[in-house]
Amino acid sequence: MLYLAALSIAPNAAGSIIIVEVFYFTLLAVSAFWLGACPFSVWIGRWVLGKDIRNYGGGNPGAANVFRAGGRKSGCLAVILDTVKGVPFVALRRPSEDFHENVACH
């Protein structure tokens, strides 16, 4: 559907650039969604600690419950993984800019 819309807008050489940009944006959006849906805290609880972290604290599958169930090392790992999973997509969104400008809040 997006392919046809891009062709109808610009059916010449510039149209192929638009198609590539639409494909790139769609690929980034889908990849960011799937990586964002990865429950790293639950996986750390299951694989590293051998526990279901949803049975601790408020029952949420987050890093705070990993801290409660497993301590500082496991909790820090969960926080780092949950934070870092968004960085590649922010950096790839605008590859022509400096990485610091993409990540920093203005």
What is the average pLDDT across 74-99?
Answer: 79
Full DSSP string of the chain: -HHHHHHHH--SHHHHHHHHHHHHHHHHHHHHHHHHT--HHHHHIIIII-S-GGGSTTS--SHHHHHHHH-HHHHHHHHHHHHHTTHHHHHHHSTTS-HHHHHS--
The model's pTM:
0.65
pLDDT 10s digits, 47-66: 999 999 999 988 888 899 99
* Residues 12/28, Cβ–Cβ less than 8 Å: no
User: For position 68, what pLDDT does the model report?
Assistant: 92
